[in-house]
Chains A and B, each alone.
Chain A
Amino acid sequence: VEGLSPLNRKKSADETSIRLFSLRRQCMDIVFAGIMIGLFILSRLFVELVELV
C-alpha cells in the first residue's frame, strides 16, 4: 500500500479483510459440511453397533 493516498489505503485494507473474511467463511463451510458428514458416518456406524448388541 506504499504510495497510496490514505483513502485508498483504507480501501485496500478493507478489500483484504473482505477476502480474508470470505476465505474464513469458506473454511467454515468445509468445517460444518465435515461435521454433518461426520455425524452421518457416526450414525451409520451406530447402526452396525446396534446390531452387535
Chain B
Amino acid sequence: MTGNDVLQIVLYFSILLLLAGPLGIYMARVYEGQPCGLDPILGPLERLFYRICGIEPLEEMDWKKYAAAVLLFSAAGMLLLYLLQRVQGILPLNPQGFPAVAPALAFNTAVSFATNTNWQNYGGETTMSYLTQMAGLAVQNFVSAASGMAVLAALIRGFRGHSAETIGNFWVDLIRTVLYILLPLSFIFSLLLVSQGVVQSFSAYKTVTLIEPLAYNSQKLDEKGNVLKDANGRSVIEKKEVTQQVIPAGPAASQIAIKQLGTNGGGFFNVNSAHPFENPTPFSNFLELLAILLIPAALCMTFGRMVGDVRQGRALIAAMLIVLVTLASLCVWTEQNGNPRFYALGVDQTASSMQAGGNMEGKEARLGIVDSALWATATTAASNGSVNSMHDSYTPLGGMFPLLLIQLGEVIFGGVGSGLYGMMLFAIITVFVAGLMVGRTPEYLGKKIEMFEMKMAALVILIVNALVKIGTAVAVSTKAGAVGVANPGPHGFTEILYAFSSAANNNGSAFAGLNGNTVFYNVALGVAIFIGRFWVIIPVLAIAGSLAKKKQVPPGLGTLPTHTPLFVAFLIGVIMIVGALTFMPSLALGPIAEQLMSGRL
C-alpha cells in the first residue's frame, strides 16, 4: 500500500470515530425519551402522529406484541410498495412515462426495500417513476432503517430491564427514530450532497446532441436479435455513430442521503454511487462513505450509554474496527497489487504519479483504488449495499473480502440497528463459550445467559447460513439459476454465492455479472431476503423479552468482564470461527479457486 492509501484509511476512521461519540449520546437521549434539543420543533409533530394513529406512547409492549407490530408494519409497507410499482404508469410524477414494473420484479423490490436490503434487479433511471422513487423507495428507506433501530432499542431495554415484562413500544420507537434521528441527519446530508452537484429535480430527462459524435463498431444483428455471421463464421461488424445522449435527472440527493445513512444502499441510478450525478466529487464520495458507517458506529456508543457502561459500547466498536480495518486493508492491498494474470504479460501495475496502478477494472478513474476498495468493504460490512465500483471486476481475493464481510453476518458495524443486535448475539455466544472454557458463569451485562438465549442465538446463525447455502445450491444445480450467470467456472459460482449471501444477510449489494431480473432470482432472492430479516428479528426480540424478565445480577468474582481487550479478542475469535469457517468451503470453490487458477496467490 502507498502512503496515500494509509492516510486516507486513517483519516476516514478517525473522523468516523470523532462523530460517533456525540451522535451516539444524542440517540441514547432519543430512545430514553429525554430532551434532545429538537423537542420544541419536532415534539408537536410527534404528538400529532400519536393522536392521528391512536398510539398511546406510555403503553409498553411485551416481545410478542413488539414482534407482531414489526411484522405487520413491514408487511403493509411491502404490499403498498408492490402496488405503487404496479400502478406507477397511471400516476403523476412520471415524466418519462415508465410503465408498471413487472410483477416478479415489483415483488423482489418491495420485499427488498421493506427489509432494509435494497437489492436491485432494476435500473432506477430506466424503471422507476419519480413518485415510486420518492413515495415508495425513499419512504421505505426511512422506515425500514427505523424498524431495525427500534428492534435494537428493544434489545437494549431487555438488558436494562429488571424483572420486567415489556421492552418498549414499537410505534413510539419507530416515530422517534424517523423524526429525531433519520430526518434531521438526512436533511443535512441532502443539502451537502446538493452543494456538491448531486441532482435534485423534477424535470424530465434531457436529450442533448453530443458536441463530438461517438463512433464505435458493433456486432450486426438479424431481425430476431441474433448475431449475424459471415461465410467464415465470424461476426459481421457494423459501424455505428451516436449523436445524441439522454441525460437522466430526478430527486436523487434526498434519496441518496437516507440511502447511505440508513444503510439501505438502493441507488437512484443503476450504477449507484459510481454515477456522477449520484456521487460527483471527492468530497461527496467522502460524505457518502462516512454516512455508511456513521449511525452503526454511533449506535455502539448509544448502547454503552443506555446500559450505563460506555466501556461496553467501546468494546464492541473496537472489535468491529479491528475486523473492518484488517479486511479493508487487505482488500486495498490486493487491488493495489493488480490483476494476477497481467503479471505474466509484463504489464506495469505499480502505482506512480502517472497511473493509479493495481486493478482499475470496474473502478471509476476519478475515485481510484483506495476509495473504491474502502467503500466496497464498508458497504458490505455495514449491510449498506451501495457501490461506487463493480465488485465483480475485483481480483478474486479482492472480491472475496467484501463477500466475507457479508458472510460474517453483517455484524461488523452492520445495518442500522441490525448490525449491533447481531453483534450482541455474538457477544452472548462469546460469554457462553468463554464461560465453558474457563468455568465461569455466562453473564452479559448483569443478565445470566441460559439455554433459551443460546438456542435463539444459534437459531439466528443457522437460519441465515441455511438460506445462503440452500439458495446457492438450488441456483447452481438448476437451469433457471444458471441462466443468469455471465461467467463460467468459479467466478460464476462466486456471483451466485454473493447474491444469496447478500440477500439472506440483507446487504443488498450485487457482485454484478449476474442477471437477477429473472422470475427465479426475483422470487428466490425475495424469499431469502424476507426470511433473513424477520426470522432474525423474531429470535432477537424473544431474547430481549427473556432478558427483561430476569433479575440484574451484580458482577462477582466469577463474572467475565466484557469490556476488556481479552473479551474483544474472544469476540473476534468467535465471529471468525463461526462466520468464516462456516463459509470457507464455499469460498474455496469460488474466489480462492479462481485466484489459484490465475497462477498467483
Contact = CB atoms under 8 A, between A and B. Distances in A.
Contacts of A18: none
A28 B103 contact: yes
B68 A47 contact: yes
Contacts of B104: 28, 32
B564 to A, nearest CB: 32
Contacts of A37: 75, 79
B420 interface: no
A23 to B, nearest CB: 12
Interface in A31-53: 31-33, 35-37, 39-40, 43-44, 46-47, 50-51, 53
B421 to A, nearest CB: 15
A29 B106 CA distance: 9
A33 B79 contact: yes
A49 B275 CA distance: 46
Interface string B369-410: 000000000000000000000000000000000000000000
B263 to A, nearest CB: 22
Interface residues of B, number: 32
A45 to B, nearest CB: 10
Interface string B56-75: 00000000100110011001
Contacts of A46: 534-535, 538
B531 A39 contact: yes
Contacts of B64: 47, 51
A10 interface: no
A35 B107 contact: yes
B107 A32 contact: yes
B75 A33 contact: no
Contacts of A47: 64, 67-68, 71, 538
Nearest to A29: B103
A39 B68 CA distance: 13
Given A28-B103, A32-B82, A35-B107, A40 B71 contact: yes
A25 interface: yes
A35 B110 CA distance: 12
Given A33-B82, A50-B542, A43 B107 contact: no
B265 interface: no
Nearest to B526: A35
A41 B79 CA distance: 14
Interface residues of A, number: 18
A36 B363 CA distance: 37
B75 A40 contact: yes
A43 B72 CA distance: 10
A24 to B, nearest CB: 9
Interface string B429-467: 000000000000000000000001001100100000000
Contacts of B459: 50, 53
B542 A43 contact: no
A9 B534 CA distance: 52
A53 B452 contact: yes
B111 A43 contact: no
Interface string B512-555: 00000000000100110011001100110010000000000000
Given A47-B67, A50-B538, A51-B542, A36 B523 contact: no
Nearest to B542: A50
Contacts of B496: none
Nearest to B111: A36
A43 B67 CA distance: 10
Interface string A1-40: 0000000000000000000000001001101110111011
B86 interface: yes
A39 B534 CA distance: 10
Contacts of B78: 36
Contacts of B539: 50
A12 B486 CA distance: 39
A47 to B, nearest CB: 5
A53 B68 CA distance: 18
Contacts of B67: 47
Contacts of B534: 39, 43, 46
Given A25-B103, A53-B452, A53-B455, A39 B538 contact: no
Contacts of B86: 29
Nearest to A28: B103
Contacts of A28: 103-104
Given A35-B523, A51-B64, A51-B542, A43 B103 contact: no
B456 A44 contact: no
Contact of B456 (A32, A36, A39, A50): A50
Given A46-B535, A51-B64, A36 B75 contact: yes
Given A33-B79, A33-B82, A43 B110 contact: no
A37 B71 CA distance: 11
Nearest to B86: A29
A11 B103 CA distance: 26
A32 B538 contact: no
B522 to A, nearest CB: 9
A47 B72 CA distance: 13
B68 A32 contact: no
Interface of A: 25, 28-29, 31-33, 35-37, 39-40, 43-44, 46-47, 50-51, 53
16 contacts: A25-B102, A29-B103, A32-B82, A33-B79, A35-B107, A39-B530, A40-B71, A40-B75, A43-B71, A44-B68, A46-B535, A47-B64, A47-B67, A47-B538, A50-B459, A50-B538
Interface of B: 64, 67-68, 71-72, 75, 78-79, 82, 86, 100, 102-104, 106-107, 110-111, 452, 455-456, 459, 523, 526-527, 530-531, 534-535, 538-539, 542
Given A25-B102, A50-B538, 4 more contacts: A35-B526, A35-B527, A36-B107, A50-B459
